[in-house]
Amino acid sequence: MNEVFDISNESKELKRNDQAYLLHPWGSLSENTNDEPMIIESANGVYVTDSDRNQYLDAIGGMWCMTLGYGNEDLALTMQEQAVRMPYYTPFGSMSNIPAVQLAKKLAALAPGDLNIVHYTNSGSTAVDSAIRFCHYYFNATGKESKKIILSRKDAYHGSTYLGASLSGKAWDRTCFQYMDTLVHHLSSPHSYRRPPHIAEENFCNYLLNEMEEAIQQLGADNIACFIAEPILASGGVIVPPNGYHQRAQELMKRHNILFVSDEVVTGFGRLGHFFSSNIHFGLDPDIIITAKGLTSGYAPLGAIILSEHLAREIKETHLKNPVFTNGYTYSGHPIACAVALKNIELMEKMALCEHVRSIGPYFIERLQELEKYPIVGDIRGHHLMACIEFRASNAYSPIPTLEDIAIAQAVDTHCQRLGLLVRPYESLCILSPPLIINEQQIDSMINILQNAIEETMKEMD
Ligand code: PMP
């Protein structure tokens, strides 16, 4: 009884302090918010426990990043050993450290084609920023200074630096900011479910490609540096572009000397069953790949851009005597983060984790599709362990989710939480990206809870 009393007091105090002192990412500054913080205190495998001792199956996977799951002692010990041996040294200029070198060699071996040059950052956002800076640097160095515009897409998410946020195309995130809209051109989202009603599904890819071609004509290929794209748009709603979209976009970009930057912050490191998905799933050979999140299984912050050798070679061959890429961070190639990334890759290979995802992923999607029988489920989409459920209040077409659609998703989320499942609510969606170590039984229990949560929500609507 005493212990219960203490826990609940301690938890209340933590929550009060959280509300008083902490502004969360996407945190509200409103006095009136009813959202009580959920403080996660401990975690193991695919489960997390909050400060009130409630346990949840974490179907969000932290934030798409907890690929090997929680409580992995090999990863934790690797970090400890590296911290004792050498926790930090500056990475600038010609200084380096052993895990950074070893990881770069490994990433070059895993990345497709001639993507063999690794440049570290602290996160996905700083990797996006660095990738775009590299594109501008490349075109400036090779005498094509006018190539500056970046093609991106509505519904995209590319991070939270000012440039990353400018590239992102999620409408709601764009209020009260002054984004770099002269530098960024947003194309339509390749979102089949919300495509314009006069476009048949089989014509949607042509529609998107025509728009892309027209945008290039209008802006002028000589003014466009790159196209940045998540192979599957993640936070914008697990949007899987139509078949053929990627290859045709790539052909178009190559024809116009526009660099293709593949943002694999989510789709890489096993989520789709491979270390990188650009080439294997989507037939792409990008000029730059961006990675982060699953690179360290979320155990330490780290991002990287992996650059094509041909870009580096062209820069080397220019008139610049000493081409220096003046970009980097105090924590670029942080030894603890690089050491844990190396161990993460070693364990993924030893456990055949990508193979596991390739076998369990289709089961997960199949089981999720059973939820299509409910009338409030509008769409289920995804690939392997990256999926979402889109809710709808009615069959009527709407280019964006309605308030009623959003209310349904929120109600389902609340019920899931009560029943011991954490899902990621976003507008009318419930996004799912469980740790890659998840097994069939855990998937079944996830589906059961989702089913119950949907049925409870429908009862409340009656
Ligand atoms: N790109 C993509 C596709 C992402 O999903 C994210 C994060 N969700 C980022 C970039 C930014 O990464 P970070 O939050 O590590 O800065």
Q: Tens of pLDDT along 173-194? A: 888 788 898 999 999 999 999 9
Q: What confidence tens digit (pLDDT) does each residue in 421-447 have?
A: 999 999 999 999 999 999 999 999 999
Q: How confident is the model at residue 126 (pLDDT cuts 50, 70, 90)?
A: very high
Structural Rg of the chain based on CA atoms: 23
Compute the distance between CA of residue 130 and CA of residue 326 in angstroms, rounded to an integer: 10
The model's pLDDT over 57-115, given as tens digits with 9 standing for 90+, comes to: 999 999 999 999 999 999 999 999 999 999 999 999 999 999 999 999 999 999 999 99
Expressed in angstroms and rounded, the spacing between residue 396 Cα and the centre of ligand 1 is: 33
Q: What is the pTM of this model?
A: 0.96
Is ligand 1 within 6 A of the CB of residue 131? no
Distance from Cα 8 to the centre of ligand 1, integer Å: 34
Which pLDDT value is given to residue 5? 59
**Is the per-residue pLDDT at 412 higher than 50?**
yes
Q: Is the pLDDT of residue 405 over 70?
A: yes
Report the distance separating Cα 426 and Cα 413, nearest Å. 10
Among 157, 305, 426, say which to mutate for ligand 1: greatest number of ligand atoms within 8 Å of CB: 157
- Mean pLDDT computed over 200-217: 98
Residue 1 reports pLDDT greater than 70: no
Pairwise CA distance, residues 361 & 364, whole Å: 5
Is the Cβ atom of 435 under 6 angstroms away from ligand 1?
Answer: no
| Residue 172: predicted pLDDT | 79
Residue pLDDT, tens place only, 257-281: 999 999 999 999 999 999 999 998 8
The residue among 40, 26, 64, 108 whose CA lies nearest residue 305 is 108
Spatial distance between the Cα atoms of 239 and 230, rounded to a whole number of angstroms? 9
ipTM of the modeled complex: 0.99
Question: What backbone torsions phi and psi does residue 140 show, to the nearest 5 degrees?
Answer: -65, -45
**Tokens matching residue 195:** 């495509």
H helix or E strand, kind and range, residue 13 = helix 2-21
Banded pLDDT at 6 (limits 50, 70, 90): confident
CB-count burial class (<10 Å; 0-12, 13-18, 19+) for 6: exposed
Testing ligand 1's pocket by substitution, the residue of 265, 291, 295 carrying the most ligand atoms inside 8 A of its CB is: 265
Cα of 460 vs centre of ligand 1, distance in Å, is 35
Provide the token pair at 39.
């403080």
Q: Report whether residue 230 contacts ligand 1, using a CB cutoff of 6 Å.
A: yes
Q: Tell me, in angstroms, the distance from the centre of ligand 1 to residue 228's CA.
A: 13
Give the ligand 1 atom nearest the CA of 159: 11
Q: Is the CB of 132 under 6 A from ligand 1?
A: no
| Ligand 1 centroid to residue 318 C-alpha, Å | 33
- With 90 as the cut, is the pLDDT of residue 378 above it? yes
Position 4 scores a pLDDT of 56
3-class secondary structure, 102? helix
- Read off the pLDDT of each residue in 152-157 and give the average, rounded to a whole number: 97
The three-state secondary structure class of 422 is strand
